[in-house]
Amino acid sequence: MIVVLAIDALEFDLVEKFSCTHLKQQFYGKTNIQEFSEPRTMVLWSSFMTGINKEKEVLAGGNQEMWDKQWSYDETFFKTFKNPCVLDLPGYSYDLKVHEKSRLLLKKFFLVNSPEEKEAIRKEYNQDAFVHHRAIKTAFFEALQSNHDFVLGYFSVADVIGHLNFGNTLMMRMIYSDLEEIASKIMVKKCIILSDHGMYGVGMFGDHSSYGFWSTNFRDLGLPRITDFRSIIEELNNVEIK
Ligand SMILES: [Zn+2]
């Protein structure tokens, strides 16, 4: 079994700051996403799973349609596996309802003026994110116990929570320690931990940084592009079959 722990907005500097040894595995570094005009979540995961820069195609639909975009099984490297399980990945098996609600609340947060309203929205937004996180976590651990040859679990919590709470170090530390715990329980020979982009602070809030994060328990990948992972994983799969 090959496992990808896909973590939206996992920030290299915070992994270092909080000493997340399980997230770092044996080899880790940044990814190069300079080929993209902006570090956009949908663009980056779409490019990851197809191995092709999909920025133009994803943006062609406009901001709203972008999130509805779904790549077929045949367009992704998942087809090279016999029994893959891909949980909640944007552009593939994404829970549109859950994520749309969080984007709407985020928008609303910046539209309302009173501190009380803002606080109420932040509370609901954070709560939804944690409920969804726990559901994906359960599904991910179930998948790890099954007979899949490939498991990818996508976790949005660091991105969703980070956007409204990045300045809250205590909360970010708690999220990283939860992700660290997830990483510590993946007992397979070939595990890749990958993030689309990181995050930097803008006061209390967070915005996407211009590089991603990777780690593996099998080899040093240097400074890979996110589009390189398709061939890296396909190659691993061939080696596994032999
Ligand atoms: Zn993202």
- What would the pLDDT profile of 109-150 be if each residue is shown by its tens digit? 999 999 999 999 999 999 999 999 999 999 999 999 999 999
Q: How far is the CA of 208 from the centre of ligand 1 (A)?
A: 7
Q: How far is the CA of 152 from the centre of ligand 1 (A)?
A: 16
Q: How far apart are CA 222 and CA 98, in angstroms?
A: 35
Mean pLDDT score of the chain: 95
Neighbours of ion ligand 1 (CB under 5 A): 8-9, 41, 159, 196
Mean pLDDT of 160-176: 95
User: Where residue 5 falls among pLDDT bands split at 50, 70, 90?
Assistant: very high
pLDDT at 74 over 70: yes
Q: How far is the CA of 5 from the centre of ligand 1 (A)?
A: 14
User: Where residue 241 falls among pLDDT bands split at 50, 70, 90?
Assistant: low
Mean pLDDT of 73-78: 97
Q: How far apart are CA 174 and CA 171, in angstroms?
A: 5
Q: How far is the CA of 84 from the centre of ligand 1 (A)?
A: 22
Residue 46 has which token pair? 């779409």
User: Where residue 61 falls among pLDDT bands split at 50, 70, 90?
Assistant: confident
Mean pLDDT of 145-162: 96
- Top mean pLDDT of 101-105, 163-167, 221-225, 234-238 is at 221-225
Q: How far is the CA of 242 from the centre of ligand 1 (A)?
A: 35
Q: How far is the CA of 41 from the centre of ligand 1 (A)?
A: 4
User: Where residue 242 falls among pLDDT bands split at 50, 70, 90?
Assistant: low
The kind and range of the H/E element at 143 are helix 115-144
Q: How far is the CA of 4 from the centre of ligand 1 (A)?
A: 16
Place of tokens 């992972």: 229
Q: How far is the CA of 241 from the centre of ligand 1 (A)?
A: 32
Amino acid, single-letter form, for residue 241:
I
Residue 3 has which token pair? 């496992």
Establish how many alpha carbons lie within 13 A of residue 174's alpha carbon, considering only the half-sphere containing its beta carbon: 12
Q: How far is the CA of 33 from the centre of ligand 1 (A)?
A: 12
Q: How far apart are CA 198 and CA 17, in angstroms?
A: 14
pLDDT at 31 over 80: yes
User: Where residue 239 falls among pLDDT bands split at 50, 70, 90?
Assistant: confident
Q: How far is the CA of 95 from the centre of ligand 1 (A)?
A: 15
Q: How far is the CA of 212 from the centre of ligand 1 (A)?
A: 9
Q: Please report the pLDDT score of residue 206 as a whole number.
A: 92
Residues of the chain above pLDDT 90, percent: 90
Establish how many alpha carbons lie within 13 A of residue 31's alpha carbon, considering only the half-sphere containing its beta carbon: 29
